Amino acid sequence: MKALSHLTPASRPRLGRPATQPRPPRTLRCAYRPDPAYFPYGIGNRGDWQSSCAILSSKTLSVEHLAAVNGHKSAVDLNLVPFESKEKPLPAPVESESSASAVAVQPPPKPLTIMDLSPAPMHGSQLRVAYQGVPGAYSEAAAGKAYPNCEAIPCDQFDVVFQAVEQWIADRAVLPIENSLGGSIHRNYDLLLRHRLHIVGEVQTPVHHCLMALPGTCPDSLTRVISHPQALSQCEHTLTKLAPQAVREAVDDTAGAAEHIATNKLRDTAAIASSRAAELYGLEVLADGIQDDSGNVTRFVMLAREPIIPRTDRPFKTSIVFAHEGLGTGVLFKVLSAFAFRDINLTKIESRPHRLRPIRVVEQAEEEGTFKHFEYLFYVDFEASLAEPRAQNALSEVQEFTSFLRVLGSYPMDMTPWIRPKSDDQKV
């Protein structure tokens, strides 16, 4: 299976659809509006949830040419499919005398409904799930854990994964967002804001690194060790002990490093990847479990074209991104206090440069000159469902101090039990 490197309309594969079948209609997408975020009656169905997404929005959008969506105003044309009422069916076409001999007019195709666009159930089969890397990558394992029996679609770059879902080549995407040792993956945070996909779930996968090479290779003969930059950093101390003479070289992904060695028959080069990658590409594992810290876990997010309806019968997590006004004192403190006052636990806060307005210059008196502030976007994860009034009220208060606010998703938390493996000094 080759990675998807180019997604042009002329060349991209049409997986799961015959060549004669028309392209699926555009989905109903959420629009983000500057209306006050207050829902006194909660969220009971998909329409209410889309309305919730619509009113948690950027305040900078134009308020002209508004369209109504579920009773709320929207500045974005959602291209809603017309609904045909069962009580009042559409009248049959009237034939004129000149067209009496013509072929009867075919009825219009049945429009898509909300049920047609609903996300498939969790752990469903027949799903096409895009991931970054080649077969044997940790992302492929995460896709299999999130959606068992799915059809995994490898992509060579993170942004191609987003495009695969947006262009209907894949139904879902699974992307790494943070690692317990390497920290946040900033590239994917930026792509979450650039694209309009929704987070519909998360999965946490333990990372177990192996040092592998062609069969018969001795660690003392290695001159290079190649892998993803984070994998190299996570095994730095162990590599110094196993192959101190080998130089480290970064590549795009771990499994791709193993494939490169197998394809080019590199006898002096080893790779850091999973044991599955060694099995797929016929490499020999020279050392198993070479990560410096046994508590090495990567958190992946599951993405879809449509959000899921938040619930309260199980633990949920909500991810948002916002930019504060920048005027006054303690603005960021006031934003975060909206969650603390309602006993909402924050599990993640990440800042990224505000690319549209990276610097704000503040004018002062002549003798003092001017000084600059760097502007940031803040990504926040908190443990609450948007179906809970406390979460809705918190976001309503947050919006008072922000110039931009977007809900990336409200989704079930990964509650899979995990036991930290024993480190080398704890093993008997």
Which residues are marked as active site? Answer: 298, 300
Burial class (CB in 10 A: 0-12, 13-18, 19+), 232: buried
The pairing of strands 269-273 and 316-324 is unpaired
Distance from C-alpha of 321 to C-alpha of 380, rounded to nearest angstrom: 6
CA distance 31 to 397: 20
353 has which bridge partners? 376
Alpha-carbon 85 to chain mean position: 36
One-letter amino acid at 313 equals D
Q: By the 8 A CB rule, do 202 and 304 touch?
A: no
| d(C-alpha 71, C-alpha 99), whole Å | 42
DSSP 146-172: HSTT-EEEEESSHHHHHHHHHTTS-SE
**DSSP code for 362:** E
Longest dimension (CA), the chain: 94
